Amino acid sequence: MHDLVERLYPLCRSITGDGVRQTLAVVGESLDLDVHEVPTGTQVLDWTVPQEWNIRDAYVADAAGNRLIDFRKLNLHVVGYSVPVHEWMSFDDLRPHLHTIPEQPSLVPYRTSYYSPAWGFCLSENDLLALPSGPYEVMIDSTLADGHLTYAEHVVPGQVSDEVIITCHTCHPSLANDNLAGIAVAVELAQRLKNPWYTYRFVFAPGTIGAITWLARNFDTIERVKHGVVLACAGDEGALTYKKSRRGDAEIDRVVRYVLETSGRDHTIVDFSPYGYDERQYCSPGFNLGVGSLTRTPYAGYPEYHTSGDNPDFVSPGAMTDTLETLWEVVGVLDRNRTYVNQSPYGEPQLGRRGLYDSLGGRSDTKQAQLAMLWVLNLSDGEHSLLDIAGKSGLPFSAVADAARALHDAGLVKE
Ligand code: ZN
């Protein structure tokens, strides 16, 4: 995962353009991707797909041609979606186009201007103070033209057509935690899934406009999306944070809470708010999907956020692995969670006669397995899911799910 972060890091992604395509091409080496190209001008919900932005080079140079600010060294140096410019100018003329973070003088900020035509450069406050006097050659070799918005999907077919969506944004240039770590974890999770219960759809799309485009193009079939997770900031050393869906008690909310609470991991669970990543779109009131957001340190919650400090050194293999394993446990519970009805509810059914004791004989966890059967039989009234039963009984979800499977195979419970 960390290798993938390092490989994707130099690419100049934005909400459109070749940096996104190159990113998806790399992801496509690991996963079969359906890449979608949506033309500029396409109406998507209340938005319109913008012109496509591509950039080849950009710099501010002195009279001798020395590059003082150089896009080729770090793509954060150019404001995303900058219109082309090539002029000589004085410091006073250039200054309004320069962006720094005075409180973090060694870091280069990340800035964009997607929806109003502008250009600019980002640099550290220290470098700004050290700039020699002008005049400067200012050059941005970019193109804003009709083209496409690019996003991709990878589908792992399940035993049912009901879907779980796992989404991550692909629109940030050289920022590691804030988009690349999520992409890397999603790729790894997708590769692990083999013949799951639900159909898993991984969506790699630019933030906001990409999610809105995806929703617009899936409007008529959105009912098949039963659960989802927006994955972001997946690789910093902070503890996990789960932001609940707008519904607040969607099955995904209960499953993630269960996994986090029973795993012993440090974590925080927060209520939905219409601020953050693409849960804003999936949980807009018209859709109101059961989609939560899993991050480590959340949106804007760390000093390196949206700066050159969010580089591959800021994300760790261990943190990404922890995020991956957490999601893997979530998938394990979500995929096996069912609600059953006891078919023999008058008194306890005789388990021995059906071989349900014998089949467990000799196992060290026999007692737990028998207890789990009694709990499943008693609470399977159509009102309690296996997750509810695990919560009430205090037994591990896997023991409850195994018991339910045995009872189901014996005809004692029905889904
Ligand atoms: Zn961001």
pLDDT tens string 33-45: 999 999 999 999 9
C-alpha 127/C-alpha 121 separation (Å) is 12
Cα 158 to the chain's mean position, in Å?
20
Instruction: Tell me, in angstroms, the distance from the centre of ligand 1 to residue 272's CA.
Output: 18
Report the run of H or E that residue 366 belongs to, with start and end: helix 366-379
Placement of tokens 């319109």 in the chain: 48
- Spell out where 281-409 has E strands: 291-295, 339-342, 381-385
Q: Is residue 49 within 8 Å of residue 41, measured between CB atoms?
A: yes
Of the candidate CATH numbers 3.50.30.90, 3.40.50.300, 3.40.50.1000, 1.10.10.10, the domain formed by 52-145 belongs to 3.50.30.90
Q: Is residue 371 within 8 Å of residue 350, measured between CB atoms?
A: no
Alpha-carbon separation of residue 355 from 346, 349, 365, 376, 413 (angstroms): 20, 12, 17, 17, 15
Q: Is residue 283 within 8 Å of residue 291, measured between CB atoms?
A: yes
- Domain-wise residue ranges, the chain: 2-50+148-336, 52-145, 339-414
pLDDT at res. 352 = 86
Instruction: Tell me, in angstroms, the distance from the centre of ligand 1 to residue 351's CA.
Output: 55
Instruction: Tell me, in angstroms, the distance from the centre of ligand 1 to residue 2's CA.
Output: 19
C-alpha 231/C-alpha 169 separation (Å) is 8
Instruction: Tell me, in angstroms, the distance from the centre of ligand 1 to residue 178's CA.
Output: 5
Instruction: Tell me, in angstroms, the distance from the centre of ligand 1 to residue 173's CA.
Output: 10
pTM beyond 0.85 = yes
C-alpha 45/C-alpha 213 separation (Å) is 7
Instruction: Tell me, in angstroms, the distance from the centre of ligand 1 to residue 138's CA.
Output: 27
Instruction: Tell me, in angstroms, the distance from the centre of ligand 1 to residue 400's CA.
Output: 40
Q: What is the DSSP letter of 78?
A: B
pLDDT, tens digit, for every residue of 159-200?
A: 999 999 999 999 999 999 999 999 999 999 999 999 999 999
Written as tens digits, the pLDDT of the chain (415 aa) is: 999 999 999 999 999 999 999 999 999 999 999 999 999 999 999 999 999 999 999 999 999 999 999 999 999 999 999 999 999 999 999 999 999 999 999 999 999 999 899 999 999 999 999 999 989 999 999 999 999 999 999 999 999 999 999 999 999 999 999 999 999 999 999 999 999 999 999 999 999 999 999 999 999 999 999 999 999 999 999 999 999 999 999 999 999 999 999 999 999 999 999 999 999 999 999 999 999 999 999 999 999 999 999 999 999 999 999 999 999 999 999 999 999 999 999 999 998 888 887 655 555 667 899 999 999 999 999 999 999 999 999 999 999 999 999 999 999 999 9
Instruction: Tell me, in angstroms, the distance from the centre of ligand 1 to residue 383's CA.
Output: 41
Topology adopted by domain 2-50+148-336: Aminopeptidase (3.40.630)
Written as six digits, the tokens of 250 are 């969607």
Instruction: Tell me, in angstroms, the distance from the centre of ligand 1 to residue 299's CA.
Output: 7
What are the two backbone dihedrals, phi and then psi, of residue 330, each rounded to the nearest 5 degrees? -60, -45
Instruction: Tell me, in angstroms, the distance from the centre of ligand 1 to residue 404's CA.
Output: 43
Instruction: Tell me, in angstroms, the distance from the centre of ligand 1 to residue 361's CA.
Output: 54
378: nearest Cα among 345, 350, 404, 356: 345
Instruction: Tell me, in angstroms, the distance from the centre of ligand 1 to residue 368's CA.
Output: 46
Q: Report the top-level CATH class of 339-414.
A: mainly alpha
